Amino acid sequence: MKKAIIFDMDGTLFQTNLILEPALSATFDVLRAKGMWQGETPIEKYREIMGVPLPVVWETLCPMHTLETREESNALFHVKLIEQVRNRQGALYPNAEQTLATLAENYDLFIASNGQTEYLQAIVETYQLQRFIKGTYSIQSISSGHKSDLVKKVIEENAIQRGAVVGDRSSDIQAAQDNQLLSVGVRFDFAQETELQKADIVIDDLKELLYIKLG
């Protein structure tokens, strides 16, 4: 029986909070310079919606802007995020590497993320996650934009029969439930207690995964 664990990336394996502020600030510096934004960079507002696809981010942060401006802002933000990753301004969460190495002995490990392909690849390459991860799936690979459909794609393409989804937001928990997998919520930076309550299991440290029957 093929068993697998599917991980979210931002706020689950990777400490996105470390690169979020400088990347977002750099983006809004450009918008301010062009006279397209006034006031402070909306860091807190972004943290509230962390985990949604980037187009939705810009609809939320810049509701009065044109679609063209949002797309331009999104592209710029994406570039700034990748620069931060490549410069190792971010980090994996504590015990992530050791936990993945141990889990990989008994499970196939995958990433299913709302992040864009190039961004995810930058993290995988910078932190050499390909040592443990068999496949990385971006929300860009499906038309619906729903995490549940992305997880379904991972399951179908890899003939997964049992396992778990590990993530910090409600979309991860829902994706597990919609695909009959165990849902494991992580109580990290962007997690919200009301969302975590819906998970089968909630952990405070990735190493706790080593002591849970995941499938």
Number of separate domains in the chain: 2
* 186 contacts 207 by C-beta, under 8 angstroms: no
215 residues of the chain, pLDDT tens digit each: 789 999 999 999 999 989 988 999 999 999 899 888 888 999 888 878 876 667 788 999 998 889 898 998 889 999 999 999 999 999 999 999 999 999 999 999 999 999 999 999 999 999 999 999 999 999 999 999 899 999 999 999 999 999 999 999 999 999 999 999 999 999 998 888 999 999 999 999 999 999 998 76
> Are both 27 and 49 inside the same structural domain?
yes
* 215 contacts 163 by C-beta, under 8 angstroms: yes
| 6 contacts: CB under 8 Å, gap ≥ 6 | 109, 110, 111, 112, 151, 154, 163, 164, 165, 166, 181
In angstroms, rounded to a whole number, what is the distance separating the alpha carbons of residues 88 and 128? Answer: 12
Last residue of a domain, one of 86, 117, 139: 86
Last residue of a domain, one of 66, 86, 106: 86
Q: Which domain holds residue 192?
A: 3-15+91-211
Q: Whose CA is closest to 111, among 122, 44, 2, 95?
A: 122
* 84 contacts 90 by C-beta, under 8 angstroms: yes
H-state helical runs in the chain: 17-33, 43-48, 54-61, 67-86, 96-103, 117-126, 147-157, 170-178, 193-196
Last residue of a domain, one of 86, 115, 133: 86
Looking up residue 137, the CATH number of its domain turns out to be: 3.40.50.1000
Residue 68 exposure: Cα atoms within 13 Å on the Cβ side: 1
> Are both 58 and 113 inside the same structural domain?
no
